[in-house]
Amino acid sequence: MKTNFDFIILGAGSAGCVLANRLSANPNNHVCLIEAGSKDTDPRIHMPLGFAFFGDKTNLSWNYKTEPQKGFDKVAVESPATAVVDSAGGVHKVHADVTEHRRGFQPRGRTLGGSSSINAMLYVRGHRCDYDRWSDLGNNGWSYNEILPYFKKAEHNEVINNEFHGQNGPLNVCKIRHSNKPTDAFVEAGAKIYSYNDDFNGAEQEGIGYYQTTQKDGKRCSAAKAYLVPAMGRPNLTIMTDTQVNKLLLNGNTAVGVQCITKTQQTVDFTANKEVILSAGAFGSPQILLRSGIGPREEIIKHDITHLIDLPGVGKNLQDHIDYLSVHRYNSLELIGLSLRSIFFKYPMELIKYIFKKTGLFTSTVAEAGGFIKTRDELEAPDVQLHFAPAMVVDHGRTQLWGHGLSCHVCLLRPKSTGTVTLQSADPVDDPLIDPKFFSHPDDIKVLVQGYKKMMAILNTTPLQKYTKDHCKRPVDINNDRDIEQAIRESADTVYHPVGTCKMGSDSEAVVDERLRVHKIQGLRVVDASIMPTLIGGNTNAPTIMIAEKAADMILHDTVT
């Protein structure tokens, strides 16, 4: 087994796949890409609608749960069994009634392509002001005008050819190959109140419209499909799956390699001649740093790990999009759902359509349309995002409902609440302790209440209202802010965009500099969504790919010998 390389990339998600491709394009660079998950061979990955059937037991995802969220409502939980002896000497196991604040669910991709292999495939970049804010914080080179060329470098847009889009990149972007009347009705209703927008990634983000998607020929175009598959034949690229990273190897303040545990439970050290690059995501990258003795001292020594480098910001600054779904039951085969008619009549026909033409229902992203709107007219940029789904989505899709219906998400784009990620133990197989601290800042719930009202104004407008009015599974009094807030606290959760835990900057909590080099350490970078100093106003997959494209250029420039 080869154990020495020029570059070692930890994590084969959206960022890691980009880096593996770009760095190995030079045949003189020997690159190793290490992924804890397995290969992306599950057919549900590649058929777009398949992601809706993963559930929470799949090995394609890290199915994390957060710590109890004080901003969420309390729920009953099962307590550990307690032995009770009765008067006759019999022993019985009993469970006490226990409540705690609801925990959030945090699925993250655990396969080649990472979360881009299990997400809803929406291609969204965020607002230009998000990147200008990064630059204003002192991160030179990260303004919108400076990062736009990297979005374009990554993209091949089948539909739009203008100054905002690329046509020759690896990542294929197209329109959805499935249309239905309820989604069209959402766009029509929304456009009556707000402007219609045919490109959320163009000159203006605000408005209502259809999402662009990362698909090609009716199949998912994950980062693995776009970047890794074309590079797999290169003799200078080694891809290791089912390999768990334990810790980084340091020589003084220089990263020289990584210690891993293979699928046969062997401990193997890999060494890097040039750089080690962390691309394990907003949860994985801080975990690896902490297990390596890099981070805040108090979070490291309590797990009997030797503290080597003091970086107080590792695992801090966690930011995520909090989201609420309004779910409506409506008996129509136009909507995705489970019924005898759909199982025996609709789905067989749709499956045939997909097999032979790669069109129809099975190409659906579920979240097919949406929009970006402002809760106050004076705002610089939209502060809430909508995702419309022609299906009933409850509890992240983990609860299957009989019947048909639709859902609409309202998502808070720039929450003020920040949380943490830290270790549960020094064991690399233990889940991290994730605490987003949702709604810990009072402004977040206030804005989301207003966003809910804006969303419901669309849902109750013709021609959409026939599907929604008087059909809500959790009726809410639109004129009662306290009832809206209660509904949000009952079921709001992430829409899967955690960032910021190894943030870029020069302040006391910054982990990497503007070239994504880890402060105080040579030969080590972090390249993934964890470097975002602030959360962007949109889905995070395309921005993560952009970050990796820019990072690849910086790495190649900085390591020329």
Number of C-beta neighbours around residue 88 at 10 A: 5
pLDDT of residue 91: 65
Range of the domain at 70: 61-79+90-105
Q: Which DSSP symbol is given to 479?
A: T
pLDDT band at 272 (very low <50, low <70, confident <90, very high): very high
In a domain, 418, yes or no: no
CATH number, position 203:
3.30.410.40
Say yes or no: 101 and 184 in one domain.
no
Say yes or no: 304 and 230 in one domain.
yes
Say yes or no: 393 and 509 in one domain.
no
Rounded distance between C-alpha atoms, residue 282 and residue 276, angstroms:
17
In a domain, 84, yes or no: no
pLDDT band at 176 (very low <50, low <70, confident <90, very high): confident
Q: Residue 133 carries which side chain, given as an amino acid letter?
A: R
Which residue blocks in 415-531 are alpha helix, DSSP H? Answer: 442-459, 465-468, 481-491
In a domain, 430, yes or no: no
In a domain, 216, yes or no: no
Q: Are 451 and 384 in contact (CB under 8 A)?
A: yes
Tokens of 214: 């990362």
- Spatial neighbors of 365 by CB under 8 A, at least 6 apart, are 48, 120, 121, 122, 176, 211, 213, 215
Q: What pLDDT, in 10s, does the model give residues 431-482?
A: 999 999 999 999 999 999 999 999 999 999 999 999 998 889 999 999 999 9
Rounded distance between C-alpha atoms, residue 509 and residue 501, angstroms:
10
- pTM for the model stands at 0.96
Catalytic (active site) residue 497: yes
pLDDT of residue 1: 79
Say yes or no: 487 and 385 in one domain.
yes
Three-state DSSP at 109 gives: strand
Q: What are the DSSP E strand ranges found in 149-226? A: 155-157, 171-173, 207-210, 215-216, 219-220
Q: Are 218 and 259 in contact (CB under 8 A)?
A: no
In a domain, 541, yes or no: yes
Rounded distance between C-alpha atoms, residue 500 and residue 507, angstroms:
14
Per annotation, catalytic residue among 178, 328, 497, 519: 497
pLDDT of residue 88: 63
Q: What pLDDT, in 10s, does the model give residues 278-326?
A: 999 999 999 999 999 999 999 999 999 999 999 999 999 999 999 999 9
C-alpha atoms less than 13 angstroms from C-alpha of 523 in its C-beta half-sphere: 21
Say yes or no: 146 and 247 in one domain.
yes
Whether the per-residue pLDDT at 20 is higher than 80: the answer is: yes
Number of C-beta neighbours around residue 167 at 10 A: 12
Q: How many domains does the chain have?
A: 3
Say yes or no: 254 and 297 in one domain.
yes
Region 529-545: mean pLDDT is 98
**φ and ψ at residue 210, rounded to 5 degrees:** -95, 145
Rounded distance between C-alpha atoms, residue 320 and residue 324, angstroms:
13
Q: Output the CA angle 117-123-129, nearest 5 degrees.
A: 130
Q: Residue 325 carries which side chain, given as an amino acid letter?
A: L
